[in-house]
Every structure is written in C-alpha cells, then in structure tokens.
Amino acid sequence: MLKFTEEHEWLQIEAGVATVGITTYAVEQLGDLVFVELPEVGATFGKNDNAATVESVKAASDVYCPLAGEITEVNPAIVADPSLVNSDPQGAGWFFKLKLANAADADGLLDEAAYKELTA
C-alpha cells in the first residue's frame, strides 16, 4: 500500500512496516541534496515528529515521521551519497523503515490520486 503525507513523505506499507522517503515533488522543490541525517535504529517517534534532516543547495528541511512507530532500519547509502535521493526518491533514495504502532492509522493518509491533486 502506497500512501503520502501533506508534508511530502511517501510510505510503502507491508505487514505493518512502512518504508519512508520524500516524494519526487519534494526533491524538485529542494534541489540537489548535499546532506542527509537519519534517525537511530530503535528510536521511537510520534506522528509528525521530526525524524530526519535534509540539506540542499537551497535550504535545510525536516523530514517528519508520518505515523507513530519505531525505526527498524535506516538507509546508509543516502548518507554516503545524498544524490541517490535526487535520482531515485521513491526507490533507492528511501530514508528509513518504521514499525507502525498502529497500522490502521495509515488509512488517514493520502492515496496517490489525492497527493497528485495536492501538488498539481
């Protein structure tokens, strides 16, 4: 299940674990990323808590935790090479995996059609 937030994060949810990243739209707004800071594995976050930071040639921006849960994995490849987020934001440029506190909360997020309408 693919979901989106109004803050331009995407979530691919499988078996109660969400892979989270920022959308192509967010990357286009930020420009070339030069730095990514990720959360620690095992950290827990509430919905909309600041979970990661990105810096581009234009600005620094927070990446929010789209739902409450625990970080189970992070993507070290994007720390080593932030341009991966620019080249493949909804693939190899994922940020972290989040074990959802309540998977049903994802029902309140945007589907792809609603997100496209938001960014049109």
Q: Residue 31: what pLDDT?
A: 93
pLDDT tens digits, 2-16 = 999 999 999 999 999
Half-sphere exposure of 58 (CA within 13 A, CB side): 8
Q: What is the pTM assigned to this prediction?
A: 0.96
Q: Residue 58: what pLDDT?
A: 87
The CATH number assigned to the domain with range 2-119 reads: 2.40.50.100
Instruction: Provide Rg for the chain, Cα atoms.
Output: 13
Q: Residue 48: what pLDDT?
A: 96
Strand partners for 63: 52
Between strands 50-56 and 33-37, the pairing is: antiparallel
Tell me: pLDDT of 68 over 90: yes
**DSSP string for residues in 59-91:** -EEEEE-SSSEEEEEE-HHHHH-THHHHH-TTT
Domain ranges for the chain = 2-119
Tell me: pLDDT of 17 over 90: yes
pLDDT band, residue 90 (cuts 50/70/90): very high
Q: How far is CA 38 from CA 48, 75, 86, 109, in A?
A: 15, 8, 16, 22
Q: Residue 36: what pLDDT?
A: 98
pLDDT tens digits, 19-61 = 999 999 999 999 999 999 999 999 999 999 999 999 999 889 9
Tell me: pLDDT of 67 over 90: yes
